[in-house]
Amino acid sequence: MKTFVLDADHNITAYASQEAASNAVPPGDAFASAVGLRTALKNYSAATVVGIWNSLTGVTPVKKFTSLDVAAKRIFKELQKLGGPDAKEAAPVPEAKTKPAKASKTPKAAKTAKPATKKAPKPAGSGPRDTSKTAQLIELLRSKDGMTLDAICKKFGWQSHTTRALMSAGGSLTKKHGLTVISEKVGDARTYRIAK
């Protein structure tokens, strides 16, 4: 039966049998079920448990778990996908590595066969059609003073919440066109401009 070892550095290693796991170097908490993992995780902070989950490749990162039971079940289920059934007794397969919780908000994920799912923003050269409203807006935002929120809404007939969403860090100017929009409060007006 496949057995896992969680060591003090929060690395999880898969072994083909419980006997092979008992000889693990470095030693750690061995487990072969979600219940066993839950027992091992009791010794760690909630942030460390989240870090272990977020270090697994192909999972959606979380900020916290509702309970230690939920965390153990979800982590164990993901571990079943890794390592494969042909794990050798003498050669353990590293499963997950995490950095200490205080060192980084986004720990590095272990390398596996799963492809990365996060898309990088398109380069600034892949701009919109020249005649589109987005192209016109970009041209206006490149001016030294930029444009106020009200002026943009009036010029294009957009509502203010739509305009703010377009300008936000998750908006299409950043995601689709790779532009950095600077938002400043000047007096009572919100002003937007594109960083040069």
Quickly count helices (H) and strands (E) in the chain.
8, 7
Q: What is the mean pLDDT of residues 88-113?
A: 49
Higher pLDDT, 27 or 191: 191
CA atoms within 13 A on the CB side of 19: 3
CA–CA–CA angle 176, 178, 183 (5° rounding): 105
Tell me, what's the pLDDT at 115? Answer: 55
Higher pLDDT, 89 or 79: 79
Instruction: Tell me the β-bridge partners of 52.
Output: none
Tell me the pLDDT of the chain averaged across its residues: 75
Q: Which of 31-45, 58-72, 174-188 has the lowest mean pLDDT?
A: 174-188
Domains detected in the chain:
3-96 (no CATH), 133-194 (1.10.10)
The yes-or-no verdict on residue 173 having pLDDT over 50 is: yes
Residue 34's SS3 state is helix
Going by their DSSP bridges, the two strands 3-7 and 147-148 should be labelled as unpaired
Can you tell me the distance from the alpha carbon of 139 to that of 179, in angstroms, rounded to the nearest whole number? 12
Single out the residue of 194, 195, 175, 183 nearest to residue 123, CA to CA: 175
In single-letter form, the type of residue at position 145 comes to D
Can you tell me the distance from the alpha carbon of 116 to that of 132, in angstroms, rounded to the nearest whole number? 32
- The pLDDT tens digits for 101-137 are 455 455 555 555 555 555 555 555 556 677 788 888 8
The yes-or-no verdict on residue 161 having pLDDT over 60 is: yes
CA 110 to chain centre: 13
Q: What is the mean pLDDT of residues 173-181?
A: 79
The yes-or-no verdict on residue 62 having pLDDT over 80 is: yes
Higher pLDDT, 176 or 21: 176
The yes-or-no verdict on residue 68 having pLDDT over 70 is: yes
Tell me, what's the pLDDT at 73? Answer: 92
What is the token pair recorded at 5? 């070892």
Counting every residue written for the chain, the total comes to 196
Tell me, what's the pLDDT at 19? Answer: 77
Single out the residue of 63, 51, 58, 57 nearest to residue 98, CA to CA: 51
Residue 180's SS3 state is coil
In single-letter form, the type of residue at position 143 comes to S
Q: What is the mean pLDDT of residues 50-70?
A: 87
Question: What values do phi and psi take at 54, rounded to 5?
Answer: -65, -20
